[in-house]
A and B are shown apart, each in its own frame.
Chain A
Amino acid sequence: DSGVTQTPKHLITATGQRVTLRCSPRSGDLSVYWYQQSLDQGLQFLIQYYNGEERAKGNILERFSAQQFPDLHSELNLSSLELGDSALYFCASSTTGTYSYNEQFFGPGTRLTVL
C-alpha cells in the first residue's frame, strides 16, 4: 500500500459525459501528479500540482482539467468524453516538486471506460 488513494476504482460512462477522479496523496506529500495509461501507450504524464499550484503540464487535452485543494487532495476533471479517453488514470505523490530527485508513489488507479 503506497498510501495514495484514488476513487472511484472503476468508472463507466457514455460519450459526451463529464467525470471527476479523486486522489488523496500520502501524508506529508505536497506534490500530486496525474498520469494516463491507455492500451497503446505507456504511462503518459498529464499534469502536476505542488501545494495547490500547477507546476508542470504534459500533453493534457483542453477537455481535461485538474486542481489541488487546500487539504492537498486533487481532482482530475474529464469532460466531453470520447471513446479514446478510456484508460487507466493514475495519481502519484511525492514530498517535493522543486527538484527531480524524489520518487513518486502511485495510487491503485481509476479505470475509466467510455461507451
Chain B
Amino acid sequence: DQQVKQNSPSLSVQEGRISILNCDYTNSMFDYFLWYKKYPAEGPTFLISISSIKDKNEDGRFTVFLNKSAKHLSLHIVPSQPGDSAVYFCAASYGNQGGKLIFGQGTELSVKP
C-alpha cells in the first residue's frame, strides 16, 4: 500500500527554466510534508517542508505547494540549475506516529545546461 506516490520517475528540464516535481498521497491524516534531495552515494538532504495548516512555503529558489483537497503537493525550483540534478523524494508524516517518514519512490531530475 503506497501511501505516498511520485508518479514521474524522471524529469528533464533546461537550465534557467522551472522544474515542477509532483507528489500525491492517500492518507488524509498526514500533517507534515517534506522534500529531500539525494545525490548518488550520499544520504538524503532536507530541502523544504510544509505543515498541513499552510498551502505554500518558500525558501529561496524552492517553493512547496500543498493542495489538501486533492491530496497533492508539488515542489517548484526556479530557476533550475545543473547542480539541482539529483533524485527528489517527497515524504509525509503524522503526529501520532512520532516522526517516522513515509517516502515516495523518488523523481530523478536532470537539469541540462
**In the complex the two chains form, is A4's CB within 8 Å of B99's CB?**
no
**In the complex the two chains form, is A48's CB within 8 Å of B98's CB?**
yes
**In the complex the two chains form, is A55's CB within 8 Å of B98's CB?**
yes
**In the complex the two chains form, is A58's CB within 8 Å of B100's CB?**
yes
Nearest-neighbour CB distance to chain A for B4, whole angstroms, equals 8
**In the complex the two chains form, is B89's CB within 8 Å of A100's CB?**
no
Interface segment among B10-18, B39-47, B65-73: the answer is: B39-47
**In the complex the two chains form, is B51's CB within 8 Å of A2's CB?**
no
Tell me if B105 is interfacial: C-beta within 8 Å of chain A: yes
If A42-B89, A42-B104, A43-B103 touch, whether A104 touches B46 (CB-CB below 8 Å) is yes
Contact of A100 among B32, B36, B45, B103 (CB under 8 A): B32
Residue of B43, B45, B93 with most partner-chain A CB within 10 A: B43
**In the complex the two chains form, is A103's CB within 8 Å of B46's CB?**
yes
**In the complex the two chains form, is A97's CB within 8 Å of B105's CB?**
no
**In the complex the two chains form, is B32's CB within 8 Å of A101's CB?**
yes
Tell me if B31 is interfacial: C-beta within 8 Å of chain A: yes
Bound CA span A104–B45, Å: 9
Q: Mark A79-109, 1 if CB is under 8 A from B, else 0.
A: 0000000000010101011111111111111
Interface size on B, residues (CB 8 A): 27
Q: Mark B97-112, 1 if CB is under 8 A from A, else 0.
A: 1111111111000000
Bound CA span A33–B41, Å: 19
**In the complex the two chains form, is A50's CB within 8 Å of B43's CB?**
no
Interface residues of A in 1-38 (CB under 8 A from B): 2, 4, 31, 33, 35
**In the complex the two chains form, is B43's CB within 8 Å of A45's CB?**
no
> Which residues in B have some Cβ–Cβ distance to A below 8 Å?
31-32, 34, 36, 41-46, 49, 51, 89, 91, 93-95, 97-106
Q: What would be 6 A-B contacts, judged by CB atoms less than 8 Å apart? A: A2-B45, A43-B103, A48-B100, A58-B100, A104-B46, A107-B43
> Which residues in A have some Cβ–Cβ distance to B below 8 Å?
2, 4, 31, 33, 35, 42-45, 48, 50, 55-56, 58, 90, 92, 94, 96-109
